[in-house]
Amino acid sequence: MRIETLKSGLIVSCQAPVESSLHDPAIIAAMAHACVDRGACGVRIDSPAHLKATRQQLPDIPIIGLWKRNYPDCSVYITPKYQDALAIADAGADIIALDATPRKRPNDENLATIIARIRQETGKLVMADIDSIESAIYAVAAGADIVATTLYGYTEATKNLPPPSFSFLEELVNKLSVPVICEGGISTPTEAKKALEVGAYSVVVGTAITGIDLKTSAFLQGILSTD
């Protein structure tokens, strides 16, 4: 695919908690299809099973694929290993998203080696999910095609920094030579538009659009609150 198809567009992250009744390949694929029907330029999908189902419904739509895996003694969980990346490439992803922070990976796999193998052996683009300027520079040096702000606020180093940070986004845009996608914490159309105005190549929105479980819980909590 050509990355230009994502320029200034809305990408919707279609995921659901493992314990949710929405966590089903057919449901995730239908959710993705509905988003594309309403104008989304692409979708972000977790796991080979959900990717395969989505690709069957959307044969020509850009799909960012990832695989959330938990490995012992490892804080990296977004596509930690090359074999995880290969599985989602085989399932139909156009772009492979992975944790691109300098943190230790399972079996001491090296980020640059993983990215090189993805590009050479699958021909897919690589989206680096990062949490800081340092991680972004590290990811680009390792060969990432795209950088995304996905992990800002979600790592030990950034846990006290609530996303989205438009100043962080702007700094990335000004410092990096690759497209920067804004992902994480975008909760309103106004914020999505601001991200593009700041210089984001495109915007990923997840919970604000597809987070039925979290939104239902939030409404109930508000209704039942005694404050």
Domain housing 74: 3-224
pLDDT at 226: 80
Average pLDDT along the chain: 98
- What phi and psi values does residue 46 have, to the nearest 5 degrees? -105, 135
For 14, what's the count of Cα atoms within 13 Å in the CB-facing half-sphere? 29
Instruction: At 83, list the tokens.
Output: 């074999």
The residue ranges of DSSP E strands in the chain, in sequence order, are 10-13, 42-46, 63-66, 95-99, 125-129, 146-148, 180-183, 202-205
In whole angstroms, what separates CA 160 from the centre of its chain? Answer: 20
In whole angstroms, what separates CA 56 from the centre of its chain? Answer: 20
12: confidence class by pLDDT, cuts 50, 70, 90: very high
- Report the domain count for the chain: 1
The length of the chain is: 227
Q: What's the mean pLDDT in 132-160?
A: 98
Is the pLDDT at 61 greater than 90? The verdict is: yes
Task: Look at the block and give the residue holding tokens 């659901």.
Answer: 16
Structure confidence by residue, pLDDT tens digits, 166-206: 999 999 999 999 999 999 999 999 999 999 999 999 999 99
CATH code, 85: 3.20.20.70
Task: Name the helix (H) or strand (E) containing 97.
Answer: strand 95-99
Rounded percentage of the chain residues whose pLDDT exceeds 90:
98
Is the pLDDT at 93 greater than 80? The verdict is: yes
> 82 and 114 in contact (C-beta within 8 Å)?
yes
